[in-house]
A and B are shown apart, each in its own frame.
Chain A
Amino acid sequence: MPEVKVLTRHLGAEGLTTLAGYERVGGYQALKKALTMGPEAIFAEVKASGLRGRGGAGFPTATKWSFLPQGVFPRYLCVNADESEPGCFKDRYLLEEFPHQLLEGVMICAYALQVSHAFIYIRGEYRAQRELLDKAVAEAYQAGFAGQGILGQDWNCELIVHGGAGAYICGEETAMLDSLEGLRGQPRLKPPFPAIKGLYGQPTVVNNVETLSNLPYIISEGGAKYAAMGTESSPGSRLFCVSGHVERPGNYEIAMGRTTFRELLEMAGGVWRGRGIKAMQPGGGSMQILGPQHLDLAIDFKAVADAGSALGAGALVIMDETTCLVNVSMRLVDFYEHESCGKCVPCREGTYFESELMHRLEAGLASTAELATLADICANMDGRCFCLLGDTATWFVMSAYKMFPEEFQRHCGAGHCPVRAELERVA
């Protein structure tokens, strides 16, 4: 089986959300080991692990850390728990099941980078998860894993949980920094990158929940062992969220690069109701559509990029043969329109017109000529927006149009959604 266990290796152990339960399975031993290794040796292990960021961009973690300028303090760590990519629910799962594993990873990173404060930015909608996290943080302080004189050593680091208040854009790392500084969460111009000038103008690393949750394993078992689970271009394991038209939606941990989409789909029980698959989205709401012809692709950064999409935040959404791709596109465009922060014109105006057009298209009220307008709007957004939000607001709809042009054309002037009408005729 392609399923492996790094992040989920303790799943099922009793009381895992408590410090006592986590310590029973060896919790915080990796942090203790890390303190004996020192920052440089930790960095070397993370580099050897080949760990790539799990928040969406897939940037090598050790490389990101290496951008911090030497000798500039204070430095900060921001943990991105603002998970809100459509189709994504893995960070939530890690927070619910393994909060201390995350905190151990956060403190290992905090020590390696010698930061004075580690902030965990958790979205406001994750209230139950926030309550668990607050408890875990209080326990970590009490046990001397955070605060002043950590584990009896001359090392201080505060661990602060910061709640968002409903803004997808705050998952973008520079918008997150503005939000943490008490501003409207809008992205900053780069460069300077956060590693040089981040939170409060100081060197800052922003890492995702899943990325950091891997660190206890990497430190205790060694980076090479972690890397070997996957392939050279896609080292290690990864938690994949599978949702949509499958029998058993959920989170599945897989060996990167060695697992195909078909195998992952089988782990989730296959397409529901015995139906066939029409399309899938491999990396969350922002990523381009793939078809059934891509099922035997390896879940590998390069293989998926070559097929014209990306693994994004690790979310596979399956759409069965009854799905209307115009409807799905409309939903995603609505989402981006709702979440556009308003800072730049191509995104703010583009998502508005995109959404307005998609609603008329789905209702069968748009003309064929307007399909060209849709393509034109998207072309004026992709690559022209201040941050990726506006670019990605076009990727799904344009890739769906390219893969299913006749489905978009059939909607034009139909006066209704032809896909739904057909379904209703059959039923």
Chain B
Amino acid sequence: MTEASTVSQGGIPVLDAATRARIQRSKELYPSARSAVLPALWAVQDQLGFLVPEGLAEVAVELGLEPSEVEAVSTFYSMYFQHQPGRHLIQVCRNVSCGLRGSDDLLRHLETSLGVEDGETTEDGVFTLEGTVECLGGCGGAPMMQVDRYSYENLDAEKADQILADVRARPAPSSGAATDA
């Protein structure tokens, strides 16, 4: 992940060659270049951790759009970050099926053990905890959470702690997104 401090100002590109190549591939894939906006935003986020305005402007140039058009799309979808999140994203599903099987307790436990509330990032910047999310499609393994968009199911406090201890030891996932998500 590129640190925010290295994100350049004043016309110097912030997107690296690999990200630009990803955007170019997406652009060629669709009958209309504009369809590549979502994949391009994923590519920017994978490189920089969140959607910096300079990155959005470069996407607009690549796809022949106005920066405002790209920005309007970026703010609609909840999985695009407007600010730097923690290195790892924890999402606790609290919809009906998870709620029936103890997801509120799970979230409370994680809030206590991580020392943050729903929506906050730990002081060391390792975890962002989200407890207000869409149904994550893990109702068969409720209660469940996703960490960096991978599902962990049939959780209790102990299991969740163990998973987060393992994740903590891993490097940031952003550059690992080999797929054009």
Give A contacts to B, CB under 8 Å.
74, 83-89, 91-93, 116-117, 123-128, 130-131, 134, 158, 160, 162-168, 179-185, 200, 241-245, 249-251, 281, 285, 315, 317, 319, 323, 327-328, 331-332, 334-335, 338-339, 341
- Find out whether the CB atom of A165 lies under 8 angstroms from the CB atom of B139: no
Question: Considering the chains assembled together, what is the distance between the CA atoms of A14 and B100 in angstroms?
Answer: 35
* Nearest A-chain residue to B94, judged by Cβ: A331
Question: Considering the chains assembled together, what is the distance between the CA atoms of A84 and B39 in angstroms?
Answer: 20
- Find out whether the CB atom of A85 lies under 8 angstroms from the CB atom of B135: yes
In the complex, whether B7 has a CB less than 8 A from a CB of chain A is no
Q: Among B29-37, B120-128, B156-164, which stretch is in contact with chain A?
A: B29-37
- Find out whether the CB atom of B138 lies under 8 angstroms from the CB atom of A89: yes
Other-chain contact of B37, A124, A134, A182 (Cβ < 8 Å): A182
Other-chain contact of A89, B34, B96, B140 (Cβ < 8 Å): B140
- Find out whether the CB atom of B137 lies under 8 angstroms from the CB atom of A165: no
A327 to chain B, nearest CB (A): 7
Question: Considering the chains assembled together, what is the distance between the CA atoms of A251 and B97 in angstroms?
Answer: 14
Question: Considering the chains assembled together, what is the distance between the CA atoms of A184 and B132 in angstroms?
Answer: 21
A-B contact pairs, 19 of them (CB 8 A): A84-B134, A84-B135, A86-B97, A117-B31, A163-B39, A165-B38, A165-B42, A165-B78, A166-B79, A166-B134, A181-B32, A184-B76, A200-B31, A245-B100, A245-B101, A317-B100, A319-B100, A323-B100, A338-B132
Neighbouring B residues of A117 by C-beta, 8 Å: 31
In the complex, whether B72 has a CB less than 8 A from a CB of chain A is yes
- Find out whether the CB atom of B137 lies under 8 angstroms from the CB atom of A92: yes
Check A87/B97 contact, CB under 8 A, given A125-B134, A126-B137: yes
- Find out whether the CB atom of A184 lies under 8 angstroms from the CB atom of B72: yes
In the complex, whether B179 has a CB less than 8 A from a CB of chain A is yes
Question: Considering the chains assembled together, what is the distance between the CA atoms of A16 and B8 in angstroms?
Answer: 47
B149 to chain A, nearest CB (A): 4
Give B contacts to A, CB under 8 Å.
29-32, 34-39, 41-42, 63, 72-73, 76-80, 91, 94-97, 99-101, 132, 134-142, 146, 148-151, 179-181
A120 to chain B, nearest CB (A): 13
A278 to chain B, nearest CB (A): 11
Question: Considering the chains assembled together, what is the distance between the CA atoms of A200 and B37 in angstroms?
Answer: 15
Other-chain contact of A335, B37, B77, B80, B134 (Cβ < 8 Å): B134
Neighbouring A residues of B149 by C-beta, 8 Å: 124-125, 127-128
Question: Considering the chains assembled together, what is the distance between the CA atoms of A168 and B136 in angstroms?
Answer: 10
Among B94, B136, B141, B150: residue with most chain A CB under 10 A: B136
- Find out whether the CB atom of A87 lies under 8 angstroms from the CB atom of B150: no
Question: Considering the chains assembled together, what is the distance between the CA atoms of A144 and B36 in angstroms?
Answer: 25
* Nearest B-chain residue to A341, judged by Cβ: B76
18 A-B pairs besides A83-B137, A89-B139, A166-B78 with CB distance below 8 A are A86-B95, A86-B97, A87-B95, A88-B139, A125-B134, A165-B38, A168-B134, A168-B135, A181-B32, A181-B35, A182-B32, A183-B37, A241-B140, A244-B142, A285-B96, A335-B134, A339-B134, A341-B76
Other-chain contact of B41, A165, A168, A181, A339 (Cβ < 8 Å): A165
